[in-house]
Structure 1
């Protein structure tokens, strides 16, 4: 059995096992697995509106997954995607309502502001890691809480004491009347195109540029990279900055597309933390992250239909997602089984 075939089969088998055991959990809990999964399917593909909402749900997960995956590929563990996403959300919302500019300037400016905000928030743990060897996991976790409270405070200031910022102007909005008419007024927006471009950008940086090679090399072995003449500290900081920029753009999807403003948060959005699971599902590869986000976002959005249509609690969806992630994380065992099976068949022939 070829290595490429094994790489394809491992996530597919993981997903299948997750769905099977999820069905068992539903049955033990007194719910019909068939009705539950039919409701899940309908929540994803029932009509144009639900499909539009599914795409809308997937979009920020792509950016969160890319942010985590980029850091992983360069030897860093960015747990601060949530905070970077929040700061990007705030920056995009501010630029979106504050300035009066043509669309060709306003929308790109709001996206750039989100990317810069996320990058600057990630710069701090990157600098501390590079200069003082402070572990990025600790710093990024703490900065998530800082971002949450800073954002809530600034929302109150920018809105004059209101609970949310003013709505972004149409010139900065990612929404389109074309998608509204196509998907029966769902909140689907142009952000999914930006997400596809981001996937290509990450692939190009890591696979087709000298800088990308250096970033991966530093992540693989710092000492060897330094011996080869690479600037290790510079590359650590740059890796965190690029990762934060992806996260900030994820926040822009919510500010300029889904909600068109930013409300005070009573807790974390969860998107940044879910990005860890998306990156894991996608094996930290750009196109794998896209597929992982499609699966994750589809399950999240489809799960909202399970209580109303089948009476199945949404917690069951979280269990299914957790099971899939568990089996993907245990992919080594599945890989060994597949390789032994392929070897046995080859010997029999």
Structure 2
């Protein structure tokens, strides 16, 4: 049962309730840090300083947040159609293959102004195509979207590994990665763009893909709540039979929602490969597709909430690295444990805390 079932005010549901859940999550994480033998105050201070206390740290935080924004939006679009797309990992991986093929073999001689849009398009189309297959299997063959998208994650990872080892790896190289992309295929860093405007920024992985993430948020917000197609998609997600009775075709909406979801997940490849690594590598998605599920749920499947949740996870990822370096005996595994607790309590506690808030507000209204 969702928090909306308890008739909470909108500002409580999307504002106060997530903040309360985050506070509970941080309190539990503090207890775990204390049990490990470290000071929670010191650990959180190092985390915040590492993520936000310098221009370089902030750049890394926003770079992670860009990736999580794409995967969070991908999950949200499918969710509004009544679908649970947990195949963002595979869709982003397959999009990376498409982007790499375009950069290395199809358009290697083009200048940056022509090549970069083609790489974005290739990533979107390959991500879209990889998501469309499970969508077709559910809509026309009755397969469950959760099972097929899980399996397609493994298929994409295996295909990526096979192609890198047997076809895309340069001759004589022992590294399981493709040849470097041409310079024109590199998404410019924001510090490079700022330098052209006379503004000096510290170098970081943050690149122009973050501008794509902002545009994606605006598009998804417009599409879902301002467009006719988005209304049809949400109608199918809310009541498939009623939508069909009204003349909307649920099967087409399933296909469209998953295709759009896959295209958004495919933008991870633009940020990671074109923006940072400059070549196709194994496991470049690194769990971002699964993190997008938590981001979307915490952000209430709304672009604004997804951006805020992505920033939180960006802080956790970048700050967690600093904590593992700065605090002696605080391993990377401990950092992941604390991050997992925050995901658990901040994401899954929504339905647990909602009845409490509903009772409080109901009592206050009576009084």
Calculate the aligned-residue CA RMSD, in Å. 1.9
Q: Deviations over 1:51-77 (max 9, x none)?
A: 111111111111111111111111111
Alignment partners' CA distance in 2, 1:207 and 1:317? 38
Mapping of 1:1-80 within 5 angstroms? 3-7=9-13, 8-80=15-87
2:161 to 139, 152, 155: 152
- Alignment size in residue pairs: 347
Corresponding residue for 1:300?
317
Corresponding residue for 1:171?
184
Alignment partners' CA distance in 2, 1:133 and 1:18? 38
Mapping of 1:245-256 within 5 angstroms? 245-256=263-274
Q: How far did 1:292 drift?
A: 1.0
Provide the secondary structure at the position in 2 that maps to 1:305. Answer: helix
**Cα 1:173–1:268, aligned 2, differ >3 Å: closer, same or farther?**
closer
After superposing the two structures, state which structure 1 stretch, 183-192 or 106-115, moved more: 183-192
Unaligned runs of at least 5 residues, structure 1 = none
Alignment partners' CA distance in 2, 1:280 and 1:73? 12
Q: Deviations over 1:90-115 (max 9, x none)?
A: 22223223321122210010000000
Residues 93, 252 of structure 1: 8 Å contact kept: no
Provide the secondary structure at the position in 1 that maps to 2:130. Answer: helix
After superposing the two structures, state which structure 1 stretch, 25-34 or 330-339, moved more: 330-339
Alignment partners' CA distance in 1, 2:11 and 2:331? 36
Provide the TM-score with structure 1 as the length reference. 0.94
Provide the secondary structure at the position in 2 that maps to 1:175. Answer: coil
Q: How far did 1:217 drift?
A: 1.0
Q: Deviations over 1:170-216 (max 9, x none)?
A: 32221232458844221111111110100111111111111111111
Provide the secondary structure at the position in 2 that maps to 1:230. Answer: coil
Alignment partners' CA distance in 1, 2:178 and 2:194? 25
Alignment partners' CA distance in 2, 1:48 and 1:39? 15
Unaligned runs of at least 5 residues, structure 2 = 1-6
Corresponding residue for 1:309?
326
Q: How far did 1:268 drift?
A: 6.5
Residues 93, 260 of structure 1: 8 Å contact kept: no
Alignment partners' CA distance in 2, 1:245 and 1:286? 16
Q: How far did 1:160 drift?
A: 3.4
Residues 18, 320 of structure 1: 8 Å contact kept: no
Alignment partners' CA distance in 1, 2:136 and 2:365? 52
1:324 to 342, 361, 364: 342
After superposing the two structures, state which structure 1 stretch, 335-344 or 124-133, moved more: 335-344
After superposing the two structures, state which structure 1 stretch, 160-169 or 230-239, moved more: 160-169
Q: Deviations over 1:114-144 (max 9, x none)?
A: 0000000001001111111110111111111
Alignment partners' CA distance in 2, 1:211 and 1:268? 30
